Amino acid sequence: MSNETEVFLIPESSRAHSSSRGAALPSEYSQGGTQSVPTRRIRVLGVPLDLGASRRGVDMGPSAMRVAGLETRLEALGHQVVDGGNIRVEIAETQSIGRANARFLAQIAETCTRTAEAVAQALEDGMTPFVLGGDHSLAAGTVSGVAEFYRRSQQKIGVIWLDAHSDINTPETSPSGNVHGMPLAALLGLGGDSELASLGRIFGYAPKIAPENTVIVGVRDIDSAERDNLRRVGVGAVYTMREIDERGMRTVMEEAVRIAGEGTAGYHVSLDMDWIDPEDAPGVGTPVRGGATYREAHLAMEILADHGRLLSFEIVEVNPVIDEHNRTADLAVELACSAFGKKIL
């Protein structure tokens, strides 16, 4: 790890899309031959949150990815990596569940507020935030932090949501009451005056993201009420696995980065490991057959690296309790390396 001060040089082609601080595109190219994009200063933040899901174990996801060599493998690409440690999370057994249709929502909102503040600070310090989860409810915090940072310079962000699920339930529509199925709804302002508003109004305003710059890729398990929510809010694009099958991952991802990037400073990428087929990623909380293959997932990450407009990144829902020899965490680290520029030749 390195704590040296670094001066950022933003390529002319990128200046129109980047603020002068935060996730401005980093400075110099690696000479090692395995890195295809400018190097970055990355701050890793763990959020060992498992209050948003029924199945326990994803709180160990950040540790599993660290054990899989995340820091070393990113540094081998020429990036400077600083591990910012873990965000404080309450232990489920010490807390009141609250209402059955939004279990542990108050505690999740507190965790997401702490996450948002840490993410915004990373950007203020000129670093790219990389958040390790934890269940997907933490995305309300990550995205809020990124959106707040760019809002200060009158810019907005896009979001690319890679997930088997659309995560756009509200307490009124959720069949389980698990908040990890609600973060996108909160970020898009669907909380209204309900208790979900506390998750969506971190920093005091909502919505955090515009639906026209929000893209969901790879869904294959959507609750009936979520379909209505998707239509009502007008999400920019929703690509099911059928569309990936028929049109190919490259076409879908090229469209996704265009939609998420149009008129924005860039985009946050939220990768739920259940987006990948459980044959390749067995250690996830809510596996669904028929997901992205190993190579499709890497191609998606490589396309993100090619475009160079990644503002922040998170990987969630790694569950070592049900994994096989840390396979899923190891794949998560591989995919992170591809997203941050690793290439084959």
272 is catalytic: yes
Spatial CA neighbour of 278 closest among 237, 240, 317: 317
| Annotated active-site residue in 17, 79, 165, 268 | 165
| Annotated active-site residue in 50, 135, 272, 314 | 272
| Annotated active-site residue in 317, 323, 330, 334 | 317
| Annotated active-site residue in 167, 277, 296, 314 | 167
Tell me the pairing of strands 80-86 and 128-133.
unpaired
| Annotated active-site residue in 17, 79, 180, 268 | 180
79 is catalytic: no
CA 43 to chain centre: 14
| Annotated active-site residue in 136, 226, 268, 296 | 136
| Annotated active-site residue in 50, 135, 163, 334 | 163
User: The sheet that has 41-47: what strands, in order across it?
Assistant: 80-86, 41-47, 128-133, 310-316, 267-272, 158-162, 214-219, 237-240
| Annotated active-site residue in 274, 296, 323, 330 | 274
Asked if 79 and 40 count as a contact pair (C-beta separation under 8 A), the reply is yes
Q: φ and ψ at 72, to 5 degrees? A: -60, -40
Whether omega before 278 lies within 30 degrees of 0, making that bond cis, reads: no
How far apart (Å, rounded) are the C-alpha atoms in residues 125 and 296? 33
180 is catalytic: yes
> Rg of the Cα trace of the chain?
18
List active site positions.
Answer: 136, 163, 165, 167, 180, 272, 274, 317
